[in-house]
Chain A
Amino acid sequence: MLDAFAKWVVTTRLSAFVTGRPWVWPASETLHFIGLCLLVGAVGLMDLRMLGVAKRIPFAPLFRLVPWGVLGFAINLVTGVLFLAGHPEQYVHNGAFQLKMFFVLLAGINVVLFNLTVFRKTAALGPGDDAPTGARIMAAVSLFLWFGVMYLGRMLPYIGNSF
């Protein structure tokens, strides 16, 4: 199934766009790292605050950074799709890639759970307040998953065979 997917992907116009123009891959790599910084900067700061760093920041204004984290994620989703479209053979059987995607999925589930459970309670907290235990656990999970995503992404050429 993965091979059929890879075979189909390389026939798409998107794949031709990525492989046919020499600037697309370097530009996408650059944007992927900029997106990484935006995502980890915004999400990391919110996670650290929940874990007790910079406690004098109230949560409500901090959550206004969420769109910037989402922007970083969107940049990386688009550029990631370009990588996959251009050279699917590098990724579909790559264990590091598969685990990376699983971590991204878990991070997404973590965000949904956070919103469904302690988001309201946390957003109401002011300067100096401690985040609820549930929020602390989800913040630690979030940091672990995103740094795991970075690790697995960096290992793509070494555990697997992509560049």
Chain B
Amino acid sequence: MNIWLEQTAFGTWVREGSSFWGYPTILFLHTVGMACVAGFAAIVDLRVLGVASDIPLSPIDRLFPIMWAGFWVNALSGTALYIADATTKFTNPAFAVKMTFVALGVVTVHLLRTRVIRHPAADTGPMPAGAKLLAATSLVCWLGAITAGRLMAYVGPVSGLPIN
């Protein structure tokens, strides 16, 4: 399955195409998506943990569509990067760790929005019990996802360095 994916025309194009619009641009999109998801998630987490606590919680709801857009950009660009090097990524332990952190991180972001940011008393009452634990978990997940993602280039089977 992974070998077949790699050998599809699309996988070959992403990996080997001399087009500037292949691998480099997809990597850039993956970085932009990361900044939107992990960057804003980290700020939301820090706020819930007590940083700049006079920022009202409810308007932060407007950030979540941007975070979800970033997530989908990365789901798509990540799929393309996976197809290009399916066999090495599938067997790289850092990839599995990254996917686990991303899945947990996505759950924490969803829960933060529905349970904390959209809480009816978000700007008037105390935060719901467990809000800080949720934010701390989210922060750990995104730090873990970035770390595991970066380490995919250094541990286990490493995808061939993209051509210049």
Which residue numbers of A lie inside 8 Å of B, CB to CB?
25-26, 29-30, 33-34, 36-42, 44-45, 48, 53-58, 60-62, 64-65, 68, 127, 147, 150-151, 154-155, 157-158, 161, 163
Contacts and interface: CB of A to CB of B under 8 A. Distances in A.
Interface in B32-67: 32, 34-35, 38-43, 46, 51-56, 58-63, 66
B150 A33 contact: yes
Contacts of B31: 33, 36, 150, 154
B146 A30 contact: yes
A53 B69 CA distance: 15
A30 B147 contact: yes
Given A41-B35, A61-B55, 9 more contacts: A33-B31, A37-B34, A37-B39, A40-B39, A65-B51, A68-B51, A150-B31, A150-B32, A155-B28
B13 to A, nearest CB: 16
Contacts of B38: 37, 41
Nearest to B27: A154
Interface string B57-90: 0111111001000000000000000000000000
Contacts of A34: 143, 146-147
A38 B23 CA distance: 25
11 contacts: A30-B146, A33-B34, A36-B35, A37-B35, A45-B40, A45-B63, A65-B43, A155-B28, A157-B164, A158-B164, A161-B164
Nearest to B147: A30
Given A30-B146, A154-B28, A62 B55 contact: yes
Contacts, number: 110
A157 B23 CA distance: 11
Interface of B: 20, 23-24, 27-28, 31-32, 34-35, 38-43, 46, 51-56, 58-63, 66, 142-143, 146-147, 149-151, 153-154, 161-162, 164
Contacts of A56: 56, 58-59
Contact of B35 (A60, A68, A127, A150): A150
Nearest to A155: B24
Contacts of B39: 36-41, 44
B151 A26 contact: yes
A127 to B, nearest CB: 7
| 7 nearest A-B pairs in the assembled complex, by CB-CB distance | A41-B39, A56-B59, A64-B52, A61-B54, A54-B62, A37-B39, A158-B24
